[in-house]
Amino acid sequence: MKKKVVIVDDHPIVREGLKQVILQDPQLMVCGEAEDLYSALDQIEQEQPDIAIVDITLKKSSGLDLIREISAQWPKIKTLVLSIHDEAIYAERALRAGANGYVMKQQAMINILDAIHHVLHGELYVSQDVSKRLLHLFHKKPSSVENQEISLLSNRELQVFQLYGQGKKTRIIAGELNISAKTVESHREHIMEKLNLSDSSEMIFMAVQFMIKNNLL
């Protein structure tokens, strides 16, 4: 029987392109698609796929939150992250959330089928760089000071940091994350403390630079 795949990505073109690649494999079938956390959970509950391919950034939600939900509710369902986000920052977070693999979108068409089969066979699929990083987590020097600093942020702090980098105001961020403005301000203070920044304008400038550098704007 073919293995069932659900694709979760907020870009319809990406979902369609990924679907066409997956359908070339006679052992796989796409049984559902979703663009946000809640519709993804509905699809997964209905279809009970063998694997979910999840982007980090979803509409009004985080792929990391979805991965945690899948791990908690359906531990037998595998999850594979497919994202444009820098794996040096996000791969470890995704694996800690419960993901079984991480593939950069830049290499998706080359590696995605291989990654899916590795994960379905119970193996962890990450790049050689991430594998080395995990093996030498406490010994390897970080690739850059910026990545070292950003890695200190919690998942929620990183979300807030990115939203500030998109030019969004505190109240807008609070609405998107369904938290209070005071909570957003608290996250902002923690971000500035961890990144050793003196004020909000400096934090926003760094956030914008981070988004530009990682092609997220």
Homologous superfamily, domain 3-135 = Response regulator (3.40.50.2300)
Based on the number of CB atoms within 10 Å of its own CB, is 119 exposed (0-12), middle (13-18) or buried (19 or more)?
Answer: buried
> What's the Cα-to-Cα distance from 76 to each of 44, 72, 99, 124, 161, rounded to whole Å?
12, 10, 12, 14, 33
Q: How far apart are CA 39 and CA 85, in angstroms?
A: 22
pLDDT value of position 160: 94
Supply φ then ψ for residue 32, to 5 degrees: -175, 160
pLDDT at 147 over 70: no
User: Which residue in this structure is represented by tokens 């980098």?
Assistant: 165
Q: How far apart are CA 6 and CA 75, in angstroms?
A: 15
CATH number of 145-213: 1.10.10.10
pLDDT value of position 137: 53
Domain boundaries, the chain: 3-135, 145-213
Q: What percent of the chain has pLDDT over 70?
A: 90
